[in-house]
């Protein structure tokens, strides 16, 4: 798309004109929304860890992890199904209203279940109260994701980004104010809840005037239709959450609250590093769903582009993260968080595996193979629980990190196999291997440069940016040489 004036510039970022322009626009707004959301929340949690200490922060992380185990009951896999179905046919006003009423019922039942379960997981009344407050926040946030999915299906990621930014800014402002003026876990939890209520009010008003009147419709036929498609994803999400959160819950249950704080200090940063994977996935998923219905060739091409982007990002992320881990932890936390360094190095490898797994997950869902994902995640959950029972008592937070890494490594071949057998995608392509090779060579040069004291001792953001530029320059140079030698970027 050629930019000749301000109208063209506005069209680039706010209109859906061509496939490439729409993907660029959606990726841009996803990056803005998710980036600001994750970064502001990371800043807030870093100050929470600094001001409240590792033990209190561990209690907060334990409460959040425990609540996350109940996502299945109020989410039920509906966001991704809404995204997929509405991407195929956007005019489903009555169905969307029925989904809203369904979400309200699921949220109410989930809240009751969380409250009752909290009395069995901890005897500390303070933690029980925090769980209650954060449960309300999480349920409201889960309700907002229904609207997120609607915007994503219409490929209007700018609307989703604005809402994510609003919630993140509100949480950051109220949370930081609370930490500096009235520091306590309970007050911090109330700041989360208040921010979500304001955001929900805003989105209801916006949706009412921009799209259609928000009201509930109690059509059980619509409930059955969407639940019949979403239940495999719901169970898959449950088991996926188990091997992402059960480690913190188990450590907290066993009284390792300080270790839980150290572990989650590293984990929060890891969550930021995988933002690019989420952004790319958000942009490609509607396209994959659309091409699944239209063209095998277009589907394969879109998936190839997504996979190459994931490889391009995963390799330097892992290598750079391992090398810069001490600088990362000490830049954000105090010296008493030193045990987080090794946990971070283990988890950054996990992040790399997540990058590589995401395209397989996306194409399976877009190909209506969510039941296969259910079997993958139930296997992963079983493996993770067993490993946590074995490793956490002996190795504490490091055992939890290793258990997470092994789990993701073991489920990756299952994604690969199911994609070959049950989708139209062919993942066996030599260009992926060549992209890996160039990425490894470029990352080696990057790591050699960043470990030099002159670069290593700079501000962590400057060191990371400098390393990223070295990597991109090296990769571009090697790719250009490969093209001239006819080794890369031709039809394999």
User: Mean pLDDT across the stretch 325-354?
Assistant: 91
Task: Please enumerate in sequence order all residues whose Cβ is within 8 A of that of 411, keeping only pairs 6 or more positions apart, or say none.
Answer: 357, 376, 377, 379, 380, 383
Pair (488, 387) in one structural domain:
no
Residue 440 and residue 420 share a domain: no
Query: Which comes out higher in pLDDT, residue 430 or 75?
Result: 430
Q: Which two tokens stand for residue 475?
A: 């990769």
Most confident residue range from 53-67, 171-185, 249-263: 171-185
pLDDT at 345: 95
For 94-210, where are the E strands, in sequence order? none
Residue 186 and residue 137 in contact, taking contact as beta carbons nearer than 8 Å:
no
Q: What's the confidence (pLDDT) of residue 473? A: 92
**Sign of the dihedral through C-alpha 315, 286, 165, 18:** positive
Q: Give the model confidence (pLDDT) of 358-400 as tens digits.
A: 888 888 888 777 777 778 888 888 888 899 999 999 898 899 9
Q: Is residue 10 part of a domain?
A: no
The share of the chain scoring above pLDDT 90, in percent, equals 20
Asked if 317 contacts 398 with a C-beta cutoff of 8 angstroms, the reply is no
Q: With contact defined as beta carbons under 8 Å apart, do 152 and 209 qualify?
A: no
pLDDT greater than 60 at residue 291: yes
Nearest of 398, 309, 414 to residue 350 by alpha carbon:
398
Q: Is residue 127 part of a domain?
A: yes
Residues 416 and 486 reside in one and the same domain: no
Residues 73 and 123 in one domain: yes
Which residues of 254-358 form beta strands (DSSP E)? none
In a domain, 3, yes or no: no
Closest among 96, 468, 478 to 273, alpha carbons compared: 468
Lowest mean pLDDT among 67-81, 154-168, 435-449: 67-81
| Most confidently modeled range among 162-171, 205-214, 309-318 | 309-318
Mean pLDDT of 244-249: 76
Q: Using CB atoms within 10 Å of the CB of residue 266, give its burial: 0 to 12 exposed, 13 to 18 middle, 19+ buried.
A: buried
Question: Do residue 290 and residue 199 come from a single domain?
Answer: yes
Same domain? For 390 and 453 the reply is: no
Lowest mean pLDDT among 214-218, 276-280, 358-362: 214-218
* Helices 185-210, 125-153: inter-axial angle, 10-degree rounding: 20
Other CB atoms within 10 A of residue 202 CB = 16
Asked, for residue 361, whether it belongs to a domain, the answer is yes
Residue 6 resides in a domain? no
Would residue 260 count as lying in a domain? yes
Alpha carbon distance 70, 62 (integer Å)? 14
Cα dihedral across residues 277, 281, 283, 287: positive or negative: positive
Last residue of a domain, one of 428, 461, 483: 428
Reading the block at residue 258, the tokens are 């300080």
**Do 381 and 436 share a domain, yes or no?**
no
User: What secondary structure letter does DSSP report for 335?
Assistant: G
**Is 334 a member of any domain?**
yes
**In whole angstroms, what is the distance from residue 144 CA to residue 142 CA?**
5
pLDDT at residue 387 in the model: 93
3-state secondary structure of 334: coil
Tokens of 194: 């208040």
Using CA atoms, how far apart are residues 151 and 156, in angstroms rounded to an integer? Answer: 5
Pair 282, 150 in one domain: yes
Q: Are residues 270 and 257 in the same domain?
A: yes
Whether residue 261 is found in the same domain as residue 321: yes
* Domain end call among 396, 428, 460: 428
C-beta atoms surrounding 423 within 10 Å:
22
Name the residue range of residue 455's domain: 429-492
For tokens 């572990």, the residue is 263
pLDDT of residue 80: 66
Tell me the pLDDT band of 68, cut-offs 50, 70 and 90. confident
DSSP string computed for 247-307: HHHHHHHTT-HHHHHHHHHHHHHHHHHTHHHHHHHHHHHHHHHHHHHH-HHHHHHHHHHHH
Where residue 83 falls among pLDDT bands split at 50, 70, 90? low
State residue 14's pLDDT score. Answer: 63
Residue 11 included in any domain: no
Q: Quote the pLDDT of residue 236.
A: 64
Q: What is the pLDDT of residues 431-470, one digit of tens each?
A: 888 888 999 999 999 999 999 998 888 888 899 999 999 9
Residues 437, 452: Cα–Cα separation, whole Å? 24
What is the reported pTM?
Answer: 0.69
pLDDT-derived band at 76 (thresholds 50, 70, 90) equals low
426: which residues sit within 8 A by CB, 6+ positions away?
A: 300, 420
Q: What's the rounded mean pLDDT across residues 195-203? A: 88
Under the banding of pLDDT at 50, 70 and 90, the label for residue 276 is confident
Give the H/E segment covering residue 125.
helix 125-153
**Number of domains making up the chain:** 2
pLDDT surpasses 90 at 348: yes
* Long-range contacts (CB closer than 8 Å, 24 or more residues apart) made by 390-395: 392/247, 392/250, 392/251, 392/254, 392/256, 393/254
Mean pLDDT of 141-151: 76
pLDDT band (50, 70, 90) for residue 491: very low
Mean pLDDT (the chain) is 81
Instruction: Please list, in sequence order, all residues whose beta carbon lies within 8 angstroms of the beta carbon of residue 292, skipping any fewer than 6 positions away.
Output: 299, 366, 367, 368, 424
Judge whether residue 485 has pLDDT over 90. no
Residues 219-230 have a mean pLDDT of: 71
* Of the residues 407, 428, 449, the one at which a domain ends: 428
Q: What is the pLDDT of residue 3?
A: 55
Window from 75-84, 137-146, 250-259 with minimum mean pLDDT: 75-84
Each residue of 101-140: pLDDT tens digit? 777 777 788 888 888 888 877 778 888 888 888 888 888 8
- The residue ranges of DSSP E strands in 263-397, in sequence order, are none
Looking at the structure, do residues 339 and 376 belong to the same domain, yes or no?
yes
Query: Using the 8-state DSSP alphabet, how is residue 1 labeled?
Result: -
Same domain, 349 and 444: no
Specify the pLDDT at position 492.
Answer: 36
CA distance linking residue 18 with residue 194, whole number of Å: 40
């Amino acid at each position: 798309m050629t930019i000749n004036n301000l109208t063209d510039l506005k069209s680039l970022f706010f209109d859906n004109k061509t496939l490439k322009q729409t993907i660029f626009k959606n990726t841009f707004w996803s990056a803005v929304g998710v980036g600001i959301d994750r970064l502001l929340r990371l800043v807030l949690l870093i100050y929470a860890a600094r001001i409240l200490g590792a033990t209190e922060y561990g209690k907060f992380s334990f409460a959040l992890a425990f609540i996350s185990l109940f996502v299945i009951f109020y989410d039920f896999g509906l966001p991704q199904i809404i995204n997929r179905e509405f991407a195929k046919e956007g005019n489903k006003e009555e169905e969307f209203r029925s989904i809203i009423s369904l979400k309200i019922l699921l949220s109410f039942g989930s809240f009751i279940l969380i409250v009752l379960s909290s009395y069995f997981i901890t005897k500390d009344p303070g933690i029980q109260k925090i769980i209650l407050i954060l449960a309300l926040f999480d349920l409201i946030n889960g309700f907002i994701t229904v609207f997120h999915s609607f915007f994503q299906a219409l490929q209007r990621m700018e609307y989703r980004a604005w809402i994510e930014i609003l919630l993140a800014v509100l949480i950051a402002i109220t949370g930081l104010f609370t930490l500096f003026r009235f520091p306590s876990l309970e007050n911090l939890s109330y700041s989360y809840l208040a921010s979500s209520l304001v955001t929900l009010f805003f989105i209801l008003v916006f949706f009412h005037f921009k799209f259609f009147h928000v009201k509930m419709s109690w059509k059980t036929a619509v409930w059955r239709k969407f639940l019949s498609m979403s239940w495999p994803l719901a169970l898959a999400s449950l088991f996926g959450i188990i091997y992402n959160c059960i480690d913190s819950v188990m450590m907290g249950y066993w009284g390792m609250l300080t270790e839980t704080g150290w572990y989650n200090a590293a984990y929060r940063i890891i969550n930021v590093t995988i933002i690019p994977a989420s952004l790319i996935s958000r942009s490609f998923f509607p396209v994959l769903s659309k091409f699944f219905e239209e063209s095998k060739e277009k589907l394969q091409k879109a998936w190839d582009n997504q996979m190459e982007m994931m490889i391009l990002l995963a390799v330097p992320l892992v290598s750079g993260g391992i090398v810069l881990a001490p600088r990362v932890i000490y830049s954000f936390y105090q010296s008493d968080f030193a045990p987080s360094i090794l946990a971070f190095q283990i988890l950054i490898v996990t992040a790399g595996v997540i990058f590589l797994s995401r395209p397989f997950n996306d194409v399976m869902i877009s190909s209506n193979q969510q039941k296969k994902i259910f079997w993958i995640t139930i296997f992963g959950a079983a493996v993770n629980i067993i490993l946590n029972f074995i490793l956490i008592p002996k190795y504490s937070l490091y055992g939890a990190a290793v258990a997470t890494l092994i789990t993701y490594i073991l489920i990756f071949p299952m994604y690969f196999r199911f994609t070959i057998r049950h989708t139209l995608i062919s993942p066996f392509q030599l260009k992926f291997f060549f992209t890996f090779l160039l990425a490894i060579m470029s990352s080696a040069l990057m790591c050699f440069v960043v470990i030099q004291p002159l670069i290593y001792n700079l501000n962590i953001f400057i060191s990371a940016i400098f390393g990223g530029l070295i990597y991109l320059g090296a990769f571009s140079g090697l790719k250009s040489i490969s093209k001239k030698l006819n080794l890369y970027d031709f039809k394999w």
